[in-house]
Structure 1
């Protein structure tokens, strides 16, 4: 929308709603717009993440078909990224039982 369209909308809103209710209406509409924008951004981020995961999965299939030998640099980077992700999940999984052990010892003493 251009400057003149906004002026026309403002004038129509002023005539229809009046000067008392116009600021409230503007705040409400701006909240709706912010909510829609944040929703659109979250959907966009989710879709791009799903596409990245799908691409990594396809690259892993290609790497397995080549028996993990003589891989292109793209496949090597995808494979290393998947290994790092697997290690981070494994490390976080290993840390959780260790963190709960002191709680178990305290429970056993009671």
Structure 2
């Protein structure tokens, strides 16, 4: 991601030690690591959300294609998408069915 070598990290560490001092340096490192982790988690969540939205869009497009073909003689890809959407619709209706 970043092209930071050992020498650059050493220079940053020495400067941080001189500026912050040995008392505040561990706390600064912890807060920096916490911030980096939260940014990574946000990026991961964003990536998962985009992938999910792309998958939903793909299913929607496949359903449109299947409807245009009249849900007959579908390609295996379109048939899989239609089957997946039918299962999702049934799972949504499941809690509302009366015994």
1:2 deviates by 1.9
**Which residue number corresponds to residue 37 of structure 1?**
40
Q: How many residues align?
A: 96
1:51 deviates by 0.3
**Which residue number corresponds to residue 70 of structure 2?**
67
Which aligned segments of 4 or more residues in structure 1 are displaced greater than 3 angstroms? Answer: none
Specify the SS of the correspondent of 2:95.
helix
TM-score (norm 2): 0.91
TM-score (norm 1): 0.82
1:93 deviates by 3.2
1:7 deviates by 1.2
Distance 1:82 1:20, change over 3 A: same
- Structure 2: stretches of 5+ with no match in the other structure: none
User: Which structure features the higher share of helix residues?
Assistant: 1
- Structure 1: stretches of 5+ with no match in the other structure: 99-110
Structure showing greater radius of gyration is 1
Distance 2:26 2:60 in 1: 51
For 1:69-108, list aligned pairs within 5 A: 69-94=72-97
